[in-house]
Amino acid sequence: LCSFIHSPKGFPKLKNDTFLRAARGEETEHTPVWCMRQAGRYLPEFRETRAAQDFFATCRSPKLCCELTLQPLRRFPLDAAIIFSDILVVPQALGMEVVMVPGKGPTFTEPLKEVEDLLKLRQKVDVTAELGYVFQAITLTRHSLEGRVPLIGFSGAPWTLMSYMIEGGGSTTMSKAKSWLYRHPEASHRLLRLLADVVTDYLVGQVAAGAQALQLFESHAGHLGPEQFQDFALPYIRDIAQAVKSKLKEEALPLVPMIIFAKDAHYALRDLAHAGYEVVGLDWTIRPQEARAQVGKDVTLQGNLDPCALYAPKEKIGELVKKMLEGFGTQRYIANLGHGLYPDMNPEHVGAFVEAVHAHSRHINKH
């Protein structure tokens, strides 16, 4: 597995900074590309590495996280790596138990049912004590990448984390979590504030450990309407960007680009563009031109090929990528899928997607 050099600050020099340049709005020779869930079950080597391991035990092993993060980069010329972890490590840090149930997914043994249950959560979280294993994985992976591409750190956003903590797992309606927003608005804000504070410290810790960019996943934005998003999601998304940036400055850490990905939140794109993030990630349900018109010229867009397009024949994937690049333009843009890769996808089709982005964007830039 990965070899470790003991000197967190002596990181290897970055050789391919295309992703970071695009995130900051600088010119790039080709459009950078990475995939959400690029370290995942669609790779046979991932399934082998993970075979005998409990999912969260894997998350707590810096060595395994490093290995899983590097696997897709051995296969594909991706322009960024994203650390292998899970958004639910944050509720774990607050003292909740989460287990991975085969065929069902992440499950909380005791979800939050009543407002009183908030008292069971740790009110002050020492992120180094609780989530130090993620920081170690980041440092180890940053060295092991040998400067090939930048490493992205991430966290779930407060509303998405809250919804899991109340639902106790995945849900098609999020009705239990949403009922809190309507019945217990004050308690909801208390919980969201607590989560925002932990997420802030967690993201700052990731940069200190070596992350070169950060993505905040508001994966359950689509369950909220515009008003609830304004009240219960957007203020915390804004606060996190602001607090992370001011803490990075205070601690003399690099000001890394930040990405907000709020799935199905087209109604909030204008607000998200002004929320303090350099990059706004898009799911596949919006036209590139429409997104650009809403966010303006000052942020970079990321996305948004329908993940299921990767089931198409390779030539068709190439055509869809070309159309996507024509829609977004090749600058101030990071190519990605509109959500994560699915476990039954063919790795060769992932390769076709990555190569098509590079080839078509270079061609467009030349002409």
Nearest-CA neighbor of 340 among 195, 215, 172, 200?
215
Kindly name the residue from 17, 148, 164, 197 that is annotated as catalytic: 164
| Residue 200, CB-side half-sphere exposure with 13 Å CA sphere | 20
197 assigned to active site: no
Kindly name the residue from 24, 75, 86, 362 that is annotated as catalytic: 86
Kindly name the residue from 21, 50, 142, 238 that is annotated as catalytic: 50
283 assigned to active site: no
37 assigned to active site: yes
- Length of the chain (residues): 367
**End-to-end Cα separation, the chain, in angstroms:** 43
Taking the C-alpha atoms of 302, 230, 185 and 155 in order, what is their torsion angle to the nearest 10 degrees?
A: 20
50 assigned to active site: yes
Nearest-CA neighbor of 98 among 85, 89, 107?
107
24 assigned to active site: no
Taking the C-alpha atoms of 47, 48, 53 and 57 in order, what is their torsion angle to the nearest 10 degrees?
A: -70
Kindly name the residue from 37, 142, 238, 332 that is annotated as catalytic: 37
* Residues identified as active-site: 37, 41, 50, 86, 164
